[in-house]
Each structure stands twice: as structure tokens, then as C-alpha cells.
Structure 1
Amino acid sequence: MHVIVTGGSSGIGLAIARLYAARGDRVSLLARHFGRLEQARIEIAASPGADLSRIQVACVDVASANQVLEAVETCEHAFGACDVLVASAGIVEPSAFERMPAAVFDEQIATNLIGTANVVRAVYKGMKTRRGGKIMMISSGAALIGIYGYTAYCASKSALAGFAEALGAEAGISGVRVSICFPPDTLTPQYSRELPMRPAEAELLMGAVKPWSAEAVAAKIVHSLDRGRTRIHFGLSLTALGYFGPLIKPLLMWWFSHRLRKISRQGRDGSLSEVMNGGFDHRR
């Protein structure tokens, strides 16, 4: 079996690739930085059951449709047609909307949404022709509820849900299974880069939940793909939002607004961030 993983040089993508490689599957890693890809390839090959000759890498910016098509064609020429695609490439750079440069907003949309569409497009026709294949889109828990400072990220990840649902309706009769998952905060290099930029206000919704390990998230995703599941949630809170969001979100957003106003009043003599860190930052 040939598995293609975008964003495969680190985080969830790397953890997923490691699981498939340990089974003896052929794995292609796609990401932007060649050095990190080579490091990931060597790291995966050191895992029990993995074989270096069955792991290949391709340096590509998923936001470029031409680069993606060329990379996927190269990977399939070497390892055969893609049986499983995991679209894990994504970026996040939180900031209040009025302070976020247009280029930063656009890059998140281009990578998270357009980049996913590009790689799906590169394998989809072949899967339909063969009447089989699995596509997993990595969305985020941020797709399930609007979060302060995450306008671009929430928009891009929410759009993936609509994309997956519509594509699934088209793909079902051809034997191609389209799935999507909504991971929580996950302990990855990107998470470490994100935290210093995260607005204090966002901690009201995000900071109380303990992050998952990349390995735990990957294991759930691979297990769900094996079982043919099309929509995967993580933990009680995100599962509830996923299935009962229209009922839960109005109350949750009312609570958020009420708490934010209260904290703002307390912080009139200091910054909101200072007040939050003093009493409401749950990462500590």
C-alpha cells in the first residue's frame, strides 16, 4: 500500500507516516523543507518494522497546484498509485484580525484550504479510475467554533469540513472514501511556535484543555481510517461541539463574552494579558 502524507516532516503528519511505515507500507512524505524531510525519513526508518527503501520524500509547497501535481506524479511513479492520502500540511499564526497583515491571512487560507484541495486533486482522478482509495483531511477543533485571534485559521479549517462533505457526496459512488478529523491542540513544533503568539483572550476557550500528543492523535486517525470512519473527533468537548454545536455554541459564546468583559474590567489598570496570566492561564 502506498500512503502519501503532506506535512510529513513533523507533528501529526510525521507520527502518521511512522505508523504506516512500521506496517511495511510504502510512504511518501511531502513538505516544504528538504532538510526536515530527510531528517524525518531517517527517523521513521529507525522505527521497528520500517524500511528506508520504502520511504521517500518530495519537497513541495502545497499552495502551488503545479508543484503538488508534479510531486505526486513522481511519488506514484516510484511507489505506485496512492492508496491513502493524508492531507496534514497546515500553518497557524494567530492575531486579532485588524492587526493581521493580509499576507499572513492569505497564507493560512492558501496552505490550509487550497493546499489540501491541490493534493486531493492530484490523487482523486486516479482513485476514481481505480474505484478505490482513502482521503483524510486534517482539519482542527478550531473548525468547530470561532476563536478570538484565529479568524484565518478558523476560516480555513471550517472550509475543509464543507469541502470534505461535498467531495464525499461526489466520491461515494466511485468507491473513494473521504474522511475528515478535528484534532485538539497537539504537542507539535507548530504548537510550540503558536503559543507565544496566542492572544490571551483565546485561552478562555483553548487553555483549559490539555493538549494531546502527536502520537495519540495519529493513532486515532489511522485506526479510524482502518475502520472506514468519515468524521473523527477527539475528546468529549470537541465531540460534543461536533455533533451538538448549534445547541452548545450560543451558550459557550455568551459565557466567553461575559467572562471577557469581566476580565477587561479587572484589567483596566493593566493589560488583559497580565490579568489572564495572573488568574486564567490554564497552561501552567
Structure 2
Amino acid sequence: MTHVIITGGSSGIGLAIASIYAGRGARLSLIARSAEILKRAQDELSSKSATAGDIRIETADVAREEEIIAAIHRCEAAFGPCDILVTSAGVVEPSRFDELGSAAFRRQMETNFSGTVHAVRAVYAGMKQRGHGKIMMISSGAGLLGIYGYSAYCASKFALHGFAQALRSEARAHGIDVSICFPPDTQTPQFQRELAFRPPEAAAVMGTVSPWPAEAVARKIVYGIERGRFEVYFGMTLFLLGRFGPTVRPLLNWWFDRAIARSSGGVSKGGR
């Protein structure tokens, strides 16, 4: 029976992915910080799984290496080795760089980037020894293009892409599929909280695109895992950014700069 471990699996994209695998009869280990939210997720998924005992929950902060590694090892002790790891845990705290405190900047880097590295480290040696395994890292559209008010978040998600590229080269020879995806704005509880802090300049750019349902994002991610695809994109704009970034990015930056200037009542250099 396939054992799927999902960090950040108690809500949002992580929970939507868990729901798909629960319907397929996989053993699921969900890891997040809130025991209460994890329990609600477990109850919800139990109705979709053949056996309620196939849903395991563990509380852990991915930013704390020893904590997340110990939690993953407990999951493997209970359900067997990890076949699929999905790193969905993440935080976003939008703010202009000069208004964003060092603690908030560090928290996003440690959760989004280092937290993924910690989780991967917990399963990688075992996958390498067995000669198979799948790892899906969840980045963001913000990991392809710098966005006003998201300096820390973009930095953490850009870093994931470099990590995934390097790890893919190492893991391939050992039968391990390393993948990374770049979701757009997605209808999740975290997205709703994020909107309250999004600077108006960012809203002028990002608010023009409707968020995707978490279930649609999850389906595309699971499909990418099944196909062993290294990169998974959502929509034509993100696909073009991922495939032809150096060509597309200047055009998007020009459009973004004009939209930001209009929203703040200024004039962009590109518009002079």
C-alpha cells in the first residue's frame, strides 16, 4: 500500500492532495503545526479512505529540523517507508521590504525553503537505499517572478527551484523522481489571510487573475507526480515564465511597473 507523507497536509492544497490519495486507498501521514486542524482533516479524510486507521497525523514545525525529521520517522515506523513526499507546508507574509521585520523574513525562508529541505532529508536516504521514491516540492508562481511586496516569499520559493534542480540531478540515478510545481493564487484559508496584508500595489497586479480552486491545483500536482514530471505549471503565463523566463519576464515587469505606478499615483520609468 502506497504511503504518502504530506507536510502542511491539514488544509489548502495539501489537504486537497490528501483527499485524492485517500480516495485511492493510500496510507496518509499528515504533518502540520495545529493539532486541532489536523484532527479535523483526519476526520474529513477518514470518510474517503477504506480504513480510518490509514490516516495518521503528527504535529511538527517544518522549520525545526529535529522536530520534522522525528515526526516523519514516526510516520514511517507506523505505515512503512515513504513512497511519496509532498512538501506543502508554507507561510506567506506580504509586506514592503523596508516594512518587513527580520523575524518575518526569516520565518518565511525557514518554513518555505529550509522546511522543505528538512522534510526531504528525512526520507531521502531511505528512498535512495530502496531505489525508488517520489518527492514533490510545492513552490509558487512567485518562485518564477519577483512580485511587489513579496521579497521574502519570492526568495524562499525561488530557492526551492534551485534546490529541486540540483537534487533531481543527484536523485535520478537512484530511482527517485524529484518534482516541483508552481501554483498560482489558490483558494485556501492562507490565501484569505494573505489578502488582508497584500499591499495595494501587489493587488493591482495580482488581483486581475482569479484564484484557482485547491482541488484543481491538487489534481494537476498528483498528475505530475504520477507522470514523473520535473516541473508542473498552471496556466499559460506561468508555463511561459517557466519555459521562457528571460524572454517573457521583461514584458511582464514592464506591465507590472505600469500597473504599480497607476495604483500608487506615480509614473513608472517605463511609461516616461
* TM-score normalised by L of structure 1: 0.91
Give the drift of 1:204.
3.2
* 2:62 corresponds to: 62
Cα separation, 1, equivalents of 2:210 and 2:71: 36
Does the CA-based 8 Å contact 1:44-1:50 persist in structure 2?
no
Partner of 1:148: 148
- Contact kept, 8 Å, 1:85 with 1:134, in 2: the verdict is yes
1:108-141 residue CA offsets vs partner (Å, 9 max, x unmatched): 0000000000000000000000000000000000
Distance in 2 separating the partners of 1:264 and 1:36: 39
Partner of 1:202: 202
> 2:205 touches 2:260 (CA, 8 Å); kept in 1?
no
1:1-284 correspondence to structure 2 within 5 Å: 1-47=2-48, 49-265=49-265
Secondary structure of the residue aligned to 1:197 is coil
| Contact preservation (8 Å) 2:200, 2:263 | no
Deviation for aligned residue 1:266: 6.7
* 1:278 aligned residue: none
Distance (whole Å) between structure 2 residues aligned to residue 143 and residue 39 of structure 1? 30
Aligned equivalent of 2:270: none
- Assess, with a 3 A threshold, how the Cα gap between structure 1 residues 168 and 101 changes in structure 2: closer, same or farther: same
Distance 1:266-1:125 versus aligned 2 partners, 3 A rule: closer
How far the C-alpha of 1:50 sits from its partner, in A, is 4.0
Is the 1:69–1:122 Cα contact (8 Å) retained in structure 2?
yes
SS at match of 1:89: coil
- What displacement does 1:84 show? 0.2
Aligned length: 266
Find the aligned partners of 1:265 and 1:70 in 2 and give their Cα distance: 51
**For residues 225 and 262 of structure 1, what CA distance do their matches in structure 2 show?**
41
- Give runs of ≥4 in structure 1 deviating > 4 Å: none
Structural RMSD (CA): 1.2
SS at match of 1:240: helix
CA contact under 8 A between 1:9 and 1:30: conserved in structure 2?
yes
Moved more, 63-72 or 110-119: 63-72
* Partners of 1:258 and 1:39 in 2: CA distance: 44
Contact 1:179 1:229 in 2 (8 A): yes
- Kindly state the Cα deviation for residue 46 of structure 1 after the two structures are TM-superposed: 1.5
Give CA deviations for 1:61-102 in whole Å, capped at 9, x if unaligned. Answer: 001110111111110000000000000000001000000011
Query: Scaled by the length of structure 2, what TM-score is found?
Result: 0.95
Code of the aligned partner of 2:16: A
Q: Percent identity between the aligned chains?
A: 56
Distance in structure 1 (CA, Å) of the matches to 2:61 and 2:11: 15
